[in-house]
Amino acid sequence: KTPADILQQRELQYYFGDRVHFVCSRERSDICSHFGHVDEAYLKATIDDFSQEFYVSGPPAFTQAVKTTLKSEGSQARSMDFG
């Protein structure tokens, strides 16, 4: 939603560098590489290699939709569930 909603931003940037993508849908920011929603069109336009490993976090409906798209492109996506 907003940069304030990004959990562990610094740690993710430290470990993943330019491979981490933060997407904001309610507030534009330099931290967010994309403003809008993560949907099939965004994933296909952004990802060059679907054989790499992906970790998806978010609400269950969101993670399921993203994982469905990733898997349809040949990915082995995993989700991170935060009770």
Distant-in-sequence, close-in-space partners of 1: CB < 8 Å, separation ≥ 6: 24, 25, 26, 27
In this prediction, residue 79 carries a pLDDT of 54
Task: Find the DSSP H helices in 2-73.
Answer: 9-16, 40-46, 60-72
In this prediction, residue 19 carries a pLDDT of 81
Which band of pLDDT confidence, cut at 50, 70 and 90, is reported for residue 82?
Answer: very low
For the chain, the maximum distance between any two Cα atoms, rounded to a whole number of angstroms, is 32
Amino acid letter, 21: H
Structure tokens at 44: 């296909």
Query: Which tens digits make up the pLDDT trace of 9-68?
Result: 888 889 888 888 888 888 888 888 878 888 899 999 988 988 887 877 778 888 888 888
Q: 23, 21, 22, 65: which is closest to 47 by C-alpha?
A: 21
pTM: 0.69
